[in-house]
Amino acid sequence: MARRRSRRKMPDRSDYMLKEQKKVEATLDPRTMQQLSKFFNKGVISKLEHIIAVGKESDVYMATAGDAEVVRGEYVIVKFFRIETSTFFNMADYITGDPRFTKMEGRSKAAVIDTWCRKEFGNLEIAERAGVLAPKPYMFNKSILAMEFIGHEGAPAPQLRNYRMDIEEAEKIRATMMGYVKKMYLAGLVHGDLSEYNTLIKDGKPYLIDFGQAVVTRHPHAPVFLKRDIDNVAQYFRHTYGIETDAIKEYKDIVETADRDIG
């Protein structure tokens, strides 16, 4: 006896993608969804895809790019800063003392998180103007930030810690990163958390990410953060590739160059 074929309609890919989209949206609260709607309306994104990273203070999603002229490439990174985060008080410390945000003391958690998002957007703009390779910032709204996707064909570029290279390439990457540190400082910015975790490698070039904690050079802790960035880079390349550098000399060179420019 011949087996009877089922007449049940098989779901097509569009139905599947719609269900996946609803799953993603179900993880976001109404406040966040309302904020996100502006990114669709402005044409920055056309669809929120899936989560690709969970950070200390944010969840990072991949999105399909919209038709806005500012957007580069097929994909966009959307960063959702969490109001309930264990690093809240640390975030407040990085904001307090920054002359751009003098009215933050005593504000609510939501206000601090929203300011942190705006701060990262502004820091990325400074980095871009300084000639530093970093994600191009597209738009922010409250606690959501959209920026350029760094990678190929939907695959994020690897972190420096996961990228293997020979000594010659390592020396070039290290020198480029130190050049970025100097360019940013001369532009009035210190990254503040530079490391092998916050550096992506695309086409053999380092891209710096995670600029939320970056401070302007007028911040009272800017010298400490600058020294820490230089030490972090030196330590990574020394331990991983045996490259010896003089971090103290590099620090003095950057600060003295900036002082001469001001003078």
Q: Which residues does the annotation mark as catalytic? A: 193, 210
Contact 150, 135 (CB under 8 A): yes
What's the rounded Cα separation, in Å, for the pair 76 and 166? 31
Location of structure tokens 């002229």: 69
Location of structure tokens 């949206």: 25
Give the three-state DSSP class for 118.
Answer: helix
Give the three-state DSSP class for 210.
Answer: coil
One-letter amino acid of 192? G
How far is C-alpha 246 from the geometric centre of its chain's CA atoms? 28
Contact 51, 59 (CB under 8 A): yes
Cα dihedral 174/180/183/184 (nearest 10): -130
One-letter amino acid of 182? K
What's the rounded Cα separation, in Å, for the pair 62 and 32? 16
Cα dihedral 226/228/231/233 (nearest 10): -80
Give the three-state DSSP class for 146.
Answer: strand
Contact 208, 236 (CB under 8 A): no
